[in-house]
Amino acid sequence: MELKFVDPRSLKDNPDKARRSKSSPQADALLLATIKAVGIVQPPVVAAETDGGNGFVIDEGHRRVKQAIAAGLDEIAVLVVPRAEDGGAMRSLVTTIAHEQLNPVDQWRAVERLVALGWTEEAIGIALAQSVRQIKKLRLLANVLPAMLDHMAKGDMPDERQLRTIAAASLDEQKEVWKAHKPSKGDRQVSWWAVANGLAKTRMYARDASFGDDLREAYGIAWVEDLFAPADQDSRYTTNVDAFLGAQQEWMTQNLPKKGVISEANTWGEVKLPPKAERVYGTPKKSDHTAMYLDREGKVKTVHFRMPEAKKAKGKGAEDAGDDEAIVVSKPRPDVTRKGIEMIGDLRTDALHEALSRAPIEDDTLFALLVLAFAGQNVRVDSGPGGDFRFRGRFDRHAASLFDAEGQFAVDIDTLRVAARGVLIDVLSCRENISKSGIVGIVAGRAIGADGFLANMGTEDFLSCLSRPALEASCADTPVLPRARVKDTRAALVDHYKEGHFVHPSALFAPDAVVLSEWLAKSAVTEVEDEDAPDDEGVAGEDQAAEGDATDEFDEGYREAAE
């Protein structure tokens, strides 16, 4: 046996080699990477040609020679052995069959040895043609119970998620779980799912924490890095759930608003509000209250709610209003309760304003909406012969934007578009109060596609406002089947729409044909009325006098709403 250095391109293939099928591209890539990184560790075995030539025939190591050529090596070491009588056929077969790949446990031990010698995980990955993630996965075995390692060395390995769960547990915890789930003498496989499930712990992530380092240190929370999380994500976590929730609770106490309360979450993760409280889905008022609570993931959530006003004392006649002989007929529950209608008004208004801010609107539609908005029932423009000019609305800032720095009225189309959208947001409303625009708000929402901005209504709060028929109708086109009890149907829908989006048909911006027709008929101005209107001051004066009480009532209500 002699060691020589030869050009790998001069070596000839053995016609009697045992491996005839092509190796996989992955295996070739791995071998090429190792040759580039550390060279050929084990020299190929060759024998001199028997047909009078001066070259060498490969007995063992065809793949190594091929990848050495691919790596661009000009010279490699080979072991020259005497030519066998069978041409090396038996030697090729034996070495091919006898070769056994390292099991993951032995691979991990080899990797740990390389790390101890100064190799980085990145360099090891390049040399082995493996990702750094795979190298990190192998290194998780350092935290695994030795008894488990012995079984894994036989080839029965858990998947990556299970291995991460096992490695995250202490050795004492692993020992207890392994006693319950280790295989019997006749079994060769372990239920790694059961092992991982027995060691699984709830993780609370740093990205969900509202508290800072002061409370973290006070509660003894130590963040652990999740090595397998995406690189652009804060993957720090703790399994000390009680400490995490305690720090979150104390943070809420320290940052509770003036009219705030700390609430709990129900079975579905929704906030539990005080009795008779109504959740506010739109923009809250100053008089509204704030509830802070922790959801299922330990995140701090904030909602607003409104308490009912105190009922006024009834008159003396109210006590005698009842009649013993009167027959009381219970009214059927409407599809959507009054609370649901108010919620729809809030959600519609928010969606309408969001669409006015973000949706593309053509100039002709934008200016048409301005005209339409001033026909709303929440808009008043009063003028009289005495010079009493009053303009209802908060439009001064929008009008002021149409003047330049020198106070000149200078309009450019971009500024005008912004001002027009701002005015529309201030004017148009679908809320069930004095600010409601009426049918024109629904028409405007449909014109700009505000349906696409409606929030998810598949929540416990809204679905509880639906009657049984309406709730069961909401199950259509979903895998949810109506249950015997309404609350069970509602719970199933809430769970189904937790990650989805549900909009009740009654909330869509679809103008009622009858209401729109009546409004058009009432608002239409005939040709005769249009001609007579300027000269009919007496009639106008009478109309204004007749509407005086209504105007005062509107003014008072508007001021209350504005406050």
Listed in sequence order, the DSSP H helices in 52-103 are: 62-70, 89-98
305 backbone dihedrals φ, ψ, rounded to 5°: -145, 165
CA distance 29 to 281: 58
Are residue 264 and residue 412 in the same domain, yes or no?
A: no
Are residue 279 and residue 362 in the same domain, yes or no?
A: no
Mean pLDDT confidence for 451-480: 89
Query: Residue 303: which pLDDT band, with cuts at 50, 70 and 90?
Result: very high
> Looking up tokens 């935290």, which residue turns up?
143
Residue 551 has pLDDT above 60, yes or no: no
CA distance 445 to 356: 9
Query: Residue 314: which pLDDT band, with cuts at 50, 70 and 90?
Result: low
> Does any domain span residue 366?
yes
Are residue 305 and residue 367 in the same domain, yes or no?
A: no
Of the listed ranges 18-22, 109-113, 461-465, the least confidently predicted one is 18-22
Q: Are 438 and 374 in contact (CB under 8 A)?
A: no
pLDDT for 270: 82
pLDDT tens-digit readout, 22-46: 777 877 887 888 888 878 878 888 8
Could you tell me which of 474, 473, 360, 479 has the C-alpha nearest to residue 421?
360
Looking at the 3D structure of the chain, how many domains does it have? 4
CA distance 489 to 467: 12
Are residue 411 and residue 535 in the same domain, yes or no?
A: no
pLDDT, the chain, mean = 79
Are residue 352 and residue 434 in the same domain, yes or no?
A: yes
> Does any domain span residue 439?
yes
pLDDT for 413: 83
pLDDT tens-digit readout, 498-536: 888 999 999 999 988 888 888 888 776 444 444 444 444
CA distance 73 to 126: 18
Give the end of a domain, one of 42, 63, 98.
Answer: 98
Q: What percentage of the chain has pLDDT greater than the value 90? A: 15
Q: Locate 213 and state its tokens.
A: 């380092």
424: Cβ–Cβ under 8 A, 6 or more apart, which residues? 356, 366, 369, 370, 373, 444
Are residue 407 and residue 514 in the same domain, yes or no?
A: yes
Are residue 364 and residue 393 in the same domain, yes or no?
A: yes
Pairing status of strand 300-306 against strand 289-294: antiparallel
Question: Residue 540's domain spans which residues?
Answer: 527-562
Please give the helix or strand (H or E) that residue 198 lies within, else none: helix 192-199
Are residue 393 and residue 450 in the same domain, yes or no?
A: yes
Are residue 342 and residue 299 in the same domain, yes or no?
A: no
Mean pLDDT confidence for 264-268: 81
Query: Residue 558: which pLDDT band, with cuts at 50, 70 and 90?
Result: very low
Are residue 421 and residue 291 in the same domain, yes or no?
A: no
> Does any domain span residue 302?
yes
pLDDT tens-digit readout, 117-154: 888 888 888 777 778 888 888 888 888 999 998 888 88
> Does any domain span residue 189?
no
Are residue 519 and residue 548 in the same domain, yes or no?
A: no
Q: Count H helices and E strands in the chain, helices first.
A: 24, 12
| More confident: 394 or 226 | 226
* pTM as predicted: 0.39
pLDDT for 453: 92
Residue 552 has pLDDT above 90, yes or no: no
Residue 87 has pLDDT above 80, yes or no: no
Q: Are 131 and 125 in contact (CB under 8 A)?
A: yes
Question: DSSP string of 446-491?
Answer: HHTTGGGGPPP--SHHHHTTB-HHHHHHTTTTSS----SSHHHHHH
> Does any domain span residue 303?
yes
Hey, CA dihedral for 112, 116, 118, 120, is it positive or negative?
positive
Are residue 289 and residue 356 in the same domain, yes or no?
A: no
Q: Residue 43 sits in a domain of what CATH number?
A: 3.90.1530.10
